[in-house]
């Protein structure tokens, strides 16, 4: 059977990562209902539950095995990715964090906090297929030491922040949240180019709009193939996005998934059409098309992410 060589027992247990067996004592192959449902039933008074990750541990973390191989964890929003050169990158979605308030397992409770991260089985199956799910899937368990800023799976398995990768990652998040760019566009930008632009902006002491415009202009100059919306149209586009957000439940980031250039070009065409057909609701029509474009974007992104996994017979 074709299998992904990155399921918990083959990837993380082999590295010494502790599993949260207390949440999943059943040995059944039951799949629907997922981990997200089971966790509620097993919640204790000493555990706090939040969606996604605590801010303190968001970021890019690495552990180097004794054979020199590197395992990277990226924790952001409600998604965990696990990456090794051997297996590629695997995505675990809809993360729910269980924060253990009082733990006798901690050597120094005042400095450390234990977290258990459950994930969505159904989304995993959608990505990789039911055959690649272990019979008894379990949650990730890590302890975080605030003083040393270190994640630990055990006394010997300790993840350090990759400050260079995390810096790039945070810059990309800032760009995505403030400028009309999406993940697929950002993925095409060389990290060294992005870091050079950022460092140059800091030397100029830029911040706010000046900072984001400087970065955007630099990216446009070096990546014309991204076909980004022009700086001259940027203010008008941002006003349009504001109207779209007011008329829907979409966020700035979600709207840009449809492609800023496509949205603005279509808006201009609809506005011209409305001059001859005043009954045309430009924003409503545009939102319907954005929905379709976002669905296409999400399919492409989903497929690209799943291609990052190494499949073996």
Mean pLDDT of 120-143: 88
- Which residue, among 101, 51, 98, 100, has the nearest Cα to 76 in the 3D structure? 51
* 22 — pLDDT class (breaks 50, 70, 90): very low
Q: How far apart are CA 134 and CA 298, in angstroms?
A: 26
Cβ-Cβ contacts under 8 Å for 205 (sequence gap 6 or more) = none
Mean pLDDT of 285-301: 97
Is the distance from CB of 244 to CB of 287 less than 8 angstroms?
yes
Please state the separation of Cα 140 from the chain's center in Å.
17
Q: How far apart are CA 170 and CA 166, in angstroms?
A: 6
With tokens 């398995």, the residue in question is 157
- If you ran DSSP here, which 8-state letter would residue 21 be given? G
Pairwise pLDDT comparison (21 vs 295), residue with the higher score:
295
Q: Mean pLDDT score of the chain, rounded to an integer?
A: 83
Please state the domain extents for the chain: 3-161, 163-228, 229-304
Q: Give 40-49 pLDDT, tens digit per residue.
A: 444 556 778 9
**Beta carbons within 10 angstroms of residue 267's beta carbon:** 20
Length of the chain: 313
Is the pLDDT score of 36 beyond 80? no
Q: How far apart are CA 238 and CA 243, in angstroms?
A: 9
Q: Phi and psi (nearest 5°) for 20?
A: -85, 75
Write down the H helix ranges in the chain: 8-11, 34-41, 121-128, 163-178, 183-186, 191-203, 208-222, 231-246, 252-256, 260-276, 282-306
Mean pLDDT of 286-309: 94
Q: Phi and psi (nearest 5°) for 205?
A: 60, 40
Q: Give 213-243 pLDDT, tens digit per residue.
A: 999 999 999 999 999 999 999 999 999 999 9
- Report the predicted TM-score, pTM, of the whole model to 2 decimal places: 0.78
* 29 — pLDDT class (breaks 50, 70, 90): very low
């Amino acid at each position: 059977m074709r299998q992904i060589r990155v399921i918990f027992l083959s990837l993380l247990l082999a590295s010494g990562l502790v599993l949260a067996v207390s949440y999943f004592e059943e040995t059944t192959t039951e799949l629907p209902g997922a981990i997200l449902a089971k966790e509620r039933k097993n919640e204790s008074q000493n555990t706090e539950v939040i969606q996604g990750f605590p801010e303190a541990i968001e970021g890019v973390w690495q552990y180097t095995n004794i054979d020199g191989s590197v395992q990277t964890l990226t924790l952001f929003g409600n998604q965990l990715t696990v990456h090794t050169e051997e297996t590629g990158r695997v995505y675990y979605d809809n993360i729910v964090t269980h924060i253990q308030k009082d733990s006798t397992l901690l050597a120094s409770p005042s400095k450390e906090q234990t977290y258990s991260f459950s994930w969505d089985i159904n989304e995993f199956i959608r990505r990789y297929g039911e055959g690649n799910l272990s019979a008894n899937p379990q949650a990730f368990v890590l302890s975080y030491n605030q003083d040393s800023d270190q994640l630990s799976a055990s006394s010997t398995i300790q993840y350090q922040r990759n400050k260079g990768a995390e810096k790039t990652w945070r810059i990309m998040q800032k760009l995505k949240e403030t400028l009309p760019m999406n993940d697929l566009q950002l993925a095409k930008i060389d990290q060294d180019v992005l870091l050079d632009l950022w460092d140059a902006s800091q030397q100029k002491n830029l911040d706010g709009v000046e900072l984001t415009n400087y970065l955007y202009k630099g990216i446009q100059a070096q990546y014309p193939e991204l076909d980004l919306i022009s700086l001259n149209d940027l203010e008008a586009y941002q006003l349009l996005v504001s109207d779209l957000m007011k008329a829907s439940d979409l966020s700035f980031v979600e709207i840009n998934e449809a492609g800023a250039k496509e949205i603005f070009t279509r808006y201009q065409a609809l506005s011209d059409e409305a001059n001859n057909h005043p009954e045309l609701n430009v924003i409503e029509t545009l939102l319907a098309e954005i929905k379709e474009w976002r669905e296409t974007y999400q399919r492409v992104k989903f497929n690209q992410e799943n291609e990052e996994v190494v499949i073996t017979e």
